[in-house]
A and B are shown apart, each in its own frame.
Chain A
């Protein structure tokens, strides 16, 4: 893929299924590996960010207020919790993104930030096993996602 981020997001918009595993560093689209245990072909499609947590927080808020569907409700594994339908405002319902699109944007962004070295655990949550956003309390990132247990020292 020339641009993994954009092409994967477009595929999910078109109805493809996806699965991201932070610990195994994998991304599957329609059951096929795009990134397998940290190995991929082509460009990731995102630059290195000085402050990746700000963008992750923005993407999380969008995901949190995204529009659920039968398809997104049946998704088995989710790293982050979004609001249920009755908690969404009318504006969220009318103008929000589809939930599965918002989900891949958030999760793939984090995965790519891990790959390109923007997200380093010791820089923002040293000595902690989880990081909670100071502005959005619902956003929690676990250490084992960024530094899997086998790599923990």
Chain B
């Protein structure tokens, strides 16, 4: 029998009665003038079309133009509003077919199409004066030294979160940007600072020599204690991290010290960073092209191409620049001419 919860408006006592009962015995002091009866209302059950839309929404697909509509036979369908025209979305629509075929959902956040877009734009970046392509490495250098730290700090922040929520995605990203890369970047930075200091003009204050490092005056005898040792200590803290969240915090601290010590636009970016950047860029671009742009490695199906890509990435000795070379070759094999496509887009 269904139970009904009854609440006394005076004393607040909760009584549970069966729905069929009509007589409720109440204390005399609270003879009801009105009784609040709480009957649990069942949540609206989603029809089939609404359930499909809800599933797509949860997957991050834009469902702004999708609606649930009811046909004359009483069945529910998913409808789409395009340019003022309303049409039923068939079951073999690309939005569903892609999910079924690859067992994946084309979620732009998950598949990092920004990375692919950035790779394409950087590959075709041109020189300001001559208008000739400068290449990916030069385009990366053009972003400046600060970019490498900002990018890595943000990447590690996301990784720290993914480590908890999405281990699979974390593993893909951590393959390229990891503790080893950050340690190398920090080591390179300390070397850079030492080089910069040796080239600075030695000034003198009451006979005591000092240098001006990025606007800060430091006595030469204080350089080890005020510049190098704090950086070395922070480097050790990065090296000792075991968890992604700890690595993120340690890297943030090191970057803070970088900003306080010296940070110039034209400082040489770390080789480890450039390599990881190319590797991650190439990997996610290849993955996107294979999954959503009907591209593949020669004589391989989509599934085989994807497996081959994962196999390549699993090789520990495969450096990022090599995978980038594979990407360039992949674009040629699949007939993707970025400049031609861009000219086509502008029409």
Contacts and interface: CB of A to CB of B under 8 A. Distances in A.
Interface string A3-35: 000000010011000000000000000000000
Contacts of A10: 128
A98 B118 CA distance: 11
A38 interface: no
A93 B113 contact: yes
A53 to B, nearest CB: 18
Given A13-B128, A14-B128, A86-B62, A95 B341 contact: yes
B113 A95 contact: no
Contact of A95 (B108, B292, B345): B345
Given A62-B346, A97-B346, A67 B62 contact: no
Contacts of B341: 91, 94-95
A117 B183 CA distance: 62
Interface in A90-111: 90-98
A67 B121 CA distance: 10
Contacts of B292: 90
Interface residues of A, number: 17
A95 B116 contact: no
Nearest to B343: A95
Interface in B73-119: 108, 113-114, 116-117
A95 B120 contact: yes
Contact of B108 (A62, A67, A86): A86
Nearest to A92: B345
Contacts of A91: 341, 345
Contact of A94 (B62, B120, B128, B346): B120
Given A67-B121, A86-B108, A90-B293, A96 B114 contact: no
| Residues of B contacting A: mostly | helix
Given A13-B128, A14-B128, A67-B117, A96 B345 contact: yes
B45 interface: no
B166 interface: no
Contacts, number: 34
Nearest to B345: A95
Contacts of A67: 117, 121
Interface residues of B, number: 17
A93 B116 contact: yes
B276 to A, nearest CB: 22
- Residue among A10, A93, A94, A98 with most chain B CB within 10 A: A94
A93 B114 contact: yes
Interface string A60-88: 00100001000000000000000001110
Interface in B333-347: 338, 341-342, 344-346
A18 to B, nearest CB: 16
B114 A95 contact: no
B128 to A, nearest CB: 5
Given A67-B117, A93-B114, A94-B338, 6 more contacts: A86-B108, A91-B345, A95-B341, A95-B342, A95-B345, A97-B346
10 contacts: A67-B121, A87-B62, A92-B345, A93-B113, A93-B116, A94-B117, A94-B120, A94-B341, A95-B120, A96-B345
Interface of A: 10, 13-14, 62, 67, 85-87, 90-98
Closest 6 CB pairs of A and B: A95-B345, A93-B117, A95-B342, A14-B128, A95-B341, A94-B120
